[in-house]
Copies of this chain bind each other. A is one copy, B any other.
Amino acid sequence: MATRTASQTIDAASWLRKEGLRATHGRIAIVELLDASKVPLTLAEIHEKVRKAGCDFATVFRFISILEKKELVERVAWIDGTTRHEIRSRDGHHHHHHYLICRTCHKVEPIDECVVEQFEDQIAKERGYAGISHSLQLSGVCPKCQKPAAKAQGKRS
């Protein structure tokens, strides 16, 4: 849908101010990156992408902490042990919560369907939990990595 233009910059900046945060160069870059990403990112990945904007790792670390404290960003414990961060739905365009991860090449595919929502409601009702949410990750070996011929792209270790 939305095409990504320079006007996005203004968008991120005003969003920041709306949230009572100062709109600095680095923060804008981080918000835009998070907003554009289809998958949760590690701090290192975020830093990697925004260092060109002259943004230090410590800034990434502290700013993400602030956003998480304000519940604008959600921390996700990834199946491979990394900790990742995902912006919460903003503008109403909703970020994914379900992923399919290849155990060989580590490719991540978002999954749109949600089979957990009704289940979540049911469990919440049954056990009296409030403010319930969930995290689901599927892992397996993707078609490419199953073919011995195709050497797993991006394979580590």
Contact = CB atoms under 8 A, between A and B. Distances in A.
A33 B155 CA distance: 33
Interface in A43-91: 75-83
Contacts of A115: 115-116, 119
A130 B141 contact: yes
A127 B145 CA distance: 13
Contacts of A140: 124, 129-133
A111 interface: yes
A29 to B, nearest CB: 24
A136 interface: yes
- Range, interface on chain A: 35 or more
A19 interface: no
A153 interface: no
Given A129-B142, A142-B128, A143-B128, A77 B75 contact: no
A139 B129 CA distance: 9
Contacts of A113: 119
7 interchain residue pairs of minimum CB distance: A129-B140, A132-B140, A77-B77, A128-B143, A115-B119, A130-B141, A134-B138
